[in-house]
């Protein structure tokens, strides 16, 4: 990356990914069932080596990967991202035995991972989680509920964050790797606006032991935050991919749609709207790349930059998709239209992995910390 321009090799790789997402992955996605894990799609991502890249790429290339897949097939992008989110704690904090048991299957698309942090009363305020890990000999019993968990209840294993009591707030939380077949673990699917699987999990005395801990007891909140810092810029990249797809569709439509003795693009109101959309997309894209570069360089500014990237990109994508629908008119509201699909997809990223309001809070805290320093 030179300045803010991608190297030619990266541009070519992104082009190949966009073609792959359209030609191979989208047909598999269309055969899937909304709200269910699409295992053939995951297998294809594994065969193409893309799941491996989630774990071996730097933050910038992860962003390019997610942006390019989102442009052509949002379902493929989401399936890939959820594998990374659910399994990254195993990669970063797991034992050699945990990595050897679970990560090969994730990389190949055979095993489905899930990140189980949110609860009915602990969404944006993740430190308020109440899932209890009660001591039971050398291990623990998990009791409580997780909710709005992507890939639940169909995942093969869950990264679960529970309160072990070493301290209050963000202290005293431990990360566990919990296989889906543990006794006492049940789940149900939730019907949500987003088409990918989301569910609730109930823990009724689920047994876990020292061998299931990811990292150290009482240090699980750091595992969660490290994972979110890693993936927040690439959530922005997902949003940028959707925004670019909506913008390109709008350019093609307004350039060819006859209206008022010319085409829509001849109308100043339309042309100015499209110019605004394009400018916002480019600004969001550059901020995402800057945040990814900060992560790859080990910058202390990662929390602020990641929050800025996620905030601007997701809010921009909502703006662009909404105006794209408006400029297309009624055709964009038909089931199966690209923009109808994007309109449903684009709303959730402003909430998950930290809502926009949380990102603003992070940004402000980081700014004032710098002033105090």
Say if CB 277 and CB 247 are below 8 A apart: yes
Q: Is 370 a catalytic residue?
A: no
Q: How confident is the model at residue 4 (pLDDT cuts 50, 70, 90)?
A: low
Q: Is the pLDDT of residue 3 over 50?
A: no
Asked whether residue 35 falls in the same domain as residue 71, the answer is yes
Q: Per residue in 318-359, pLDDT tens?
A: 999 999 999 999 999 999 999 999 999 999 999 988 899 999
Average pLDDT over residues 108-132: 90
In the prediction, which pLDDT does 55 show? 93
| Helices 338-345, 220-256: inter-axial angle, 10-degree rounding | 150
The Cα 349–Cα 320 span in angstroms is: 14
Q: Which of 23, 301, 353, 366 is catalytic?
A: 353
Report the percent of the chain where pLDDT is more than 70: 99
Q: Is the pLDDT of residue 174 over 50?
A: yes
Average pLDDT over residues 223-242: 91
Q: What total number of domains does the chain contain?
A: 3
The answer as to whether 3 is a domain residue is: no
Reference 53, options 24, 94, 28, 17; nearest CA is: 17
Q: 362: domain range?
A: 222-372
176, 192, 218 - which closes a domain: 218
Least confident window among 3-7, 162-166, 333-337 = 3-7
Q: Is 197 left (phi over 0), alpha (psi -120 to 50) or beta?
A: beta
Average pLDDT over residues 251-279: 96
**Residue 263 corresponds to which tokens in the numbers above?**
């085409």
Reference 84, options 226, 256, 262; nearest CA is: 226
Pairing between β-strand 213-214 and β-strand 157-163 as defined by DSSP bridges: unpaired
CATH code, domain with 47: 1.10.540.10
Asked whether residue 206 falls in the same domain as residue 140, the answer is yes
CATH code, domain with 233: 1.20.140.10
In the prediction, which pLDDT does 189 show? 96
Say if CB 41 and CB 21 are below 8 A apart: no
In the prediction, which pLDDT does 122 show? 80
CA-to-CA separations, 125 to 92, 216, 280, 353, in angstroms, rounded = 23, 22, 29, 11
Average pLDDT over residues 82-102: 97
């Amino acid at each position: 990356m030179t300045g803010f321009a991608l190297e030619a090799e990266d541009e070519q790789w992104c082009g190949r990914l966009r073609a792959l997402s359209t030609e191979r992955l989208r047909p598999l996605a269309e055969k899937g069932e909304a709200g269910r894990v699409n295992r053939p799609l995951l297998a294809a991502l594994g065969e193409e080596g893309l799941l491996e890249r989630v774990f071996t790429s730097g933050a910038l290339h992860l962003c390019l990967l997610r942006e390019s897949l989102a442009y052509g097939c949002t379902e493929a992008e989401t399936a890939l991202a959820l594998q990374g989110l659910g399994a990254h704690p195993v990669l970063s904090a797991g034992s050699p035995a945990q990595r050897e048991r679970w990560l090969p299957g994730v990389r190949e698309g055979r095993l489905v991972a899930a990140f189980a942090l949110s609860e009915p009363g602990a969404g944006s305020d993740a430190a308020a989680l109440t899932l209890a890990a009660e001591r039971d000999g050398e291990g623990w019993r998990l009791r409580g509920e997780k909710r709005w968990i992507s890939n639940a209840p169909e995942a093969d294993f869950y990264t679960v964050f529970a309160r072990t009591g070493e301290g209050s707030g963000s202290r005293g939380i431990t990360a566990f790797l919990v296989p889906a077949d543990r006794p006492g673990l049940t789940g149900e699917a939730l019907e949500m606006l987003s088409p990918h699987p989301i569910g609730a999990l109930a823990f009724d005395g689920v047994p876990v032991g020292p061998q299931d801990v990811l990292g150290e007891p009482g240090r699980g909140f750091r595992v969660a935050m490290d994972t979110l810092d890693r993936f927040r810029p690439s959530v922005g990249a997902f949003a940028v991919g959707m925004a670019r797809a909506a913008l390109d569709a709008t350019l093609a439509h307004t350039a060819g749609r006859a209206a008022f003795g010319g085409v829509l693009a001849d109308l100043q109101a339309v042309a100015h709207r499209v110019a605004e959309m394009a400018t916002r997309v480019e600004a969001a894209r550059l901020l995402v790349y800057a945040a990814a570069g900060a992560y790859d360089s080990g910058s202390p500014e990662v929390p602020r930059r990641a929050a800025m990237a996620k905030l601007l990109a997701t809010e921009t994508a909502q703006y662009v998709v909404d105006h794209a629908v408006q400029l297309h008119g009624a055709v964009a509201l038909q089931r199966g239209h690209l923009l109808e699909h994007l309109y449903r997809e684009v709303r959730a990223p402003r909430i998950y992995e930290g809502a926009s309001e949380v990102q603003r809070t992070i940004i402000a805290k980081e700014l004032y910390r710098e002033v105090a320093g």
